[in-house]
Amino acid sequence: MNTIRALATVVLVACQAREQATPKPSRSATTAGSAAVVATGSGSAFDPWVQIDAMPPSPEAKKKRAEDAVTRVKSIEPELAKLRELPLKKEVPAQWQSTDDFKTFLKSEIDHELPPAHARDMEASMVHIGLLDKPVDLPQTLIRTMVTQAAAYYDPAQKKFFIVMAPDSDSLLDTMSAHELTHALQDQSFDLAKYLPPKLDEDQTNARHFVVEGDATFAMLVYTSAAGGASKATTNLMMNLVRTQVEAMANMDISAFADMMKQQASAFTAMDEDMRKSMESIGELPLAIIGPLIDSYMKGAVLCMTAYDHGGWKAVDDLYKNPPESTEQVLHPATKLFPTRDHPRTITLPKLDGKLLLENVMGELQWGNYLAVWKVKAPDAAPGWGGDRYRVVRDKDGHLTAVLVAAWDSEKDAKEFYDAYVATLPKRFPGVDATKPGDGVARPDFGKVFVKQVGDVVYIVDGAADGKLMGRVVTEAKVSKPPG
C-alpha cells in the first residue's frame, strides 16, 4: 500500500484547464482555471471566459494522445533534470496503460501488501477507533481511490512510468510526464524503495510521501513555468504566483477541495470522462485514505518550497538524506522543520491481552482527519501534537479494545485535544452521555470509552468493559520527555 501511494499522481485542479474553460456566470469557478494558466505557462494564450462545447474524446483518441505524449518524454527528461538539478542517469521507459490494466496492477500490489485477513483487521480497527465512520472494503476502496485519482504513475520496481488518463491537452499531458519523471529522478538518486520501507509507522510514511509528492509537484510547476524558454526573471515571477495558488489550495480542507473539483468537472464540457469521474469522486472517498494522498501534493509542495527557500534544491535533496520524522514537521515546515526540528516523543504501550489487530501512529495529520470525519471544528486541537501510539486487540469473545496515548507540547495543547476528542463521542455514538468521560462513555456494541488527561498526555481506552485497563495504561505506558 505504501508503494502504491508513492506512485499515484492526483489529478490536480491547478492543471485542469489548458484549452478547456469555465462558464462565464460564476467567477468563483474560475479560480482553478486561473491557476492552470500559471501552471502551464499559457496565460497569454488562454481566455478563461470561453465556453468550449465538444464531445468527450473516444478511447482511440485518448490512446493516440497518450502515445504521442510518450514520444515527447525524451525531450522533457534532460530539461527537467537540469531544472531539478538531479542527474538523469538513464532514460526512463514510458507507455500508455489502459484503466483495466491499471486495475490489474493495483490489485496485484494490494493483494501482496495487504492480504485479506490483514485488510479485515485493519478496517475493523479503523472503524473501532473512529478513523473510518463506517465499514468499507479496504482493498477495493484503495483500488477505487487510485483508479479515480491517478492520472499517471511511476513504478520503482519496473523503473518505468505509465500514463493512465489522457486529457485533451498536450500541455497537461507533458505536465503529468514532468511529475512522473521527477519521481524517476528521485529514484535514480535516492532509491524510493529504500526511502519508503514497510517498517515505517504510518505517520513517518505519510511525512515521507509529502517529500516525494511535494518535490514532484514543485519540480513540475518549475518545469511548466519555464516551458518555452522563459527567462529566469519571468520564471521566478510566475513561480511566486504559483506559490500563492499552491498555498491557497494547501490551506483548503478536503470537503472544500472536493466541492471545487465538482464545480470544475461540471464546467468542462469536453473533459475526458476518466478525469471527470476523478474530480467528482474525491468527496466520496474515506478521508483517512484520500486526505493524506491529496495533502502530500499540495502541502508537500509547500514543504519543498520552504526547503528550497533554505538552500535551493540541495535543501530539498537533504529531505531524502535526513527524512522528516512526523507529519507535524511537514505540515509546519517553517516552524517545526526549519531552522530546527521539533522531534516527536516516543511512546511505549503496555502489553494487552488478546490478538493484536493493528498498532500504529496517528500523527497530527490523521488526528486532524479524525476530527474532520466527526465534524468537530477545533483548529488548534491537532497542532501541538508531540507524539502518539495506538494499539487495537480482539479478545476471545470477538470484542475489540483500543488503547491510544497521545503526548502534546503543553498541558494547554493536551486540554484542547482532550475537549475535541470528547466532543466526537456523541457524534460517533448518538444518544450517549459524554459528560463524564473519565467514568466511561458507553459504546453501543460493547464496553466504554474512557478518556483521561495527565499533564501534557491524554490517555484513551476505547472498548474496555470497565476502568481497570485505564489504570494500567496510565501507570505502565512510557512517554519520553519533550525534546530539549
pLDDT of residue 364: 98
Our CA dihedral for 95, 96, 100, 102, rounded to 10 degrees, sits at: 50
pLDDT of residue 27: 27
pLDDT of residue 241: 76
Alpha carbon distance 319, 338 (integer Å): 11
Q: What are phi and psi of 329, to 5 degrees?
A: -65, -45
pLDDT of residue 17: 31
Q: Which three cell numbers stand for residue 29?
A: 469557478
Alpha carbon distance 37, 321 (integer Å): 34
User: What string of DSSP letters covers 339-373?
Assistant: SS--PPPPEEPPP-SSEEEEEE--HHHHHHHHHHH
CA atoms within 13 A on the CB side of 135: 5
Q: Which three cell numbers stand for residue 194?
A: 529504500
In 3D space, the residue among 325, 323, 333, 326 whose CA is nearest the CA of residue 299 turns out to be 333
Alpha carbon distance 387, 18 (integer Å): 43
pLDDT of residue 5: 36
DSSP 8-class letter at 44 = G
Report the predicted TM-score, pTM, of the whole model to 2 decimal places: 0.86
pLDDT of residue 222: 87
Tell me the domain boundaries of the chain: 2-337, 347-479
Q: Please identify every stretch of the chain with a pLDDT value under 50, giving residue numbers as ranges.
A: 1-54, 267-270
pLDDT digits (tens, 9 = 90+) for 191-227: 999 999 999 999 999 999 999 999 999 999 888 877 6
